Structures are given as C-alpha cells and as structure tokens.
Amino acid sequence: MKRLNLFIAVIFCCYSSIMLGQQDAQYTQYMYNTININPAYAGSRGAVSIFGMHRTQWVGLDGAPTTNSVSVNAPIGYNLGLGVSVINDRIGPMVENNVAVDLSYSIETSPYYKLSFGLKGTANLLDVDFTKLNIYDPSDPRFQNNIDNKFSPNIGAGVYFHSDKSYIGLSVPNMLESSHYDKSAKDEAQSYVVKERMHYYLMAGYVFDLDYNLKFKPSLLTKVVQGAPLQTDISANFLFNEKFTAGLAYRWSASVSALAGFQISDSWFVGYAYDAETTKLANYNSGSHEIFLRFELKGIRSGMISPRFF
C-alpha cells in the first residue's frame, strides 16, 4: 500500500532528545512573493500587493504538509514599506499559525538600484493533537496531553538589493531558537523537545530581454539550517508578450517542478506549480501542487509595474 501512516509522527514525537531539521514552509514559486522569507521585500513593488497561496505537498501521503498563506504589503512613504502576512501550516498532528509584520527602509544607491533593510516581528501558535497518532503505548505520559495554542514570539531581519531587472537578498526570518514541548507532561516533557533553528536564506534573480516580446529570468534560492542538508532551488522562467509565463525548477536532490502563470489583467496575476519528487519518497506520493493569486491596487504607485517576476 503506497502510503505512510502519519510519517510526521516520527519527526515530532520520537523518543529521542531534540528534533532538528528543515522547519520553515517551502514554496516553489517563492520569487513572486518573497516577503515570507525576507522582510526587506515589503513595499518593493511600489503598489498595494495582496497575495494568496495554497500548497499541498506530497499528495497521497498521510500527514503530509499543507500550507496556506496570505500577505499584504505596500509602500507607506518614500523610503518605507509595510507588510502583514498570515501562514497556516499543517503537518500530521501539528498545526502552526504564524502572523508576521514586516517593515522595510530603502536607500537609493543609484538611479536604478535600491538597497532595502527589513525587520520582521512574528507571533506563532502551535497545536499538536496526539490522538491523531498511532501510539504503541497509549499510557505513555508523553502523549496524554495535547499542545494547545503554544505561543512563541520571534524576530527576523533581511537585506534586499534590487532594481527593475535584478535582485539579491539575504535574510534570517526567525532569529530566536524557541523550544516547543508539552509542559504538562511532567518530568518527561523535555525528552521530546522541538527546537526551532535559524534558517538562512540567500536569493537572487535577473531578467534578460531576449526579444521585444520575450524575457528570461533565472532565479536562485538557497536555504541553510543547522541539522539539515543545504537546500538550493534553481528556476528558469520565460515571459511571453508580458502575459504568459512558463518555466522549470529544480530543488537540489529533492524534486523537479513545472511552473506557469498568466497576467489576467493589469491587477490580477495567477500562477501554478507542480513538483515531482526525485527521491525514494516518490514511491509514496503523486507530487505536490501549488497555486497563487496576486492582486495589486492601481493608482497607488506611479507608472506601471515592470514584469520582473519578483
């Protein structure tokens, strides 16, 4: 039977000491709304930008991640940007809700480039329902009390150097290494601590004009976290007639992806991505799906937004 029964139970509830690994939600179409990982992005598009995304990962695998995110960001002055985002992340018995506020400050380094600095403040609420697990020993004290709305604050920072055709950014969205565990599980609670680790993100991209109606943009996202392998996403998108986008992406030693998007109007843009696993995990799922919708309010900024893919 091609399924794993709540495989995330191994991640969260194993009897060892501290769980480490890749913990932040991942996105294949990160280049369209990088505010989730870099607060310096806030307001960089020069418009009120409203973005919603749904990601279903590893379809067919019990307990696989499902992520929903909504964000709003806009310039609030000549050099300031403000953003608010909400992320709902579900993995097996665990549900995490994340609310973040981002503030950016930009400096014009030349007529074409800006250097932006960003700060992020985050509130996390964690729920874990142990009744969803197949527990070998139901009397084990570690699983007698669920984790309900465990609150933990966090802060993050980032820098973002960008123009209409290029960008490079470095960020750490969560700097505090918070620990989550069920304090009501008496003395044995510390035996299954879940500790948040700092994730370092490096992103870059460029738009090449290949023809009057054809543009090409390669982009890169690298994630580094203690206790997990280096993860690199490489993508290549093409823009046709400033309306339709299509491309491919590769997540190093993990998956390959197909991406497509359509500029419905000056304000509306929709995109879709499909990921196919390149690891043994492909034997247990039928891939991952990701869809997003972006709406930008007209009249807030001067001029037209360049089709930058970012």
Reported as a single tens digit per residue, the pLDDT across 3-16 is 444 444 444 444 33
The rounded mean pLDDT for the chain is 83
Q: Average pLDDT in the 281-290 region?
A: 93
Three-state secondary structure of 158-208? EEEEECCCEEEEEEECCCCCCEECCHHHHHHHHHHEEECCCEEEEEEEECE
Quote the DSSP letter at residue 6.
S
- Other beta carbons within 10 angstroms of residue 109's beta carbon come to 11
> Is the pLDDT assigned to residue 192 strictly greater than 80?
no
Reported as a single tens digit per residue, the pLDDT across 46-80 is 889 999 999 999 999 888 999 999 999 999 988 99
* Confidence tier at 143 by pLDDT (50, 70, 90): low
Class of domain 1-12+28-297: mainly beta
Q: What is the pTM of this model?
A: 0.84
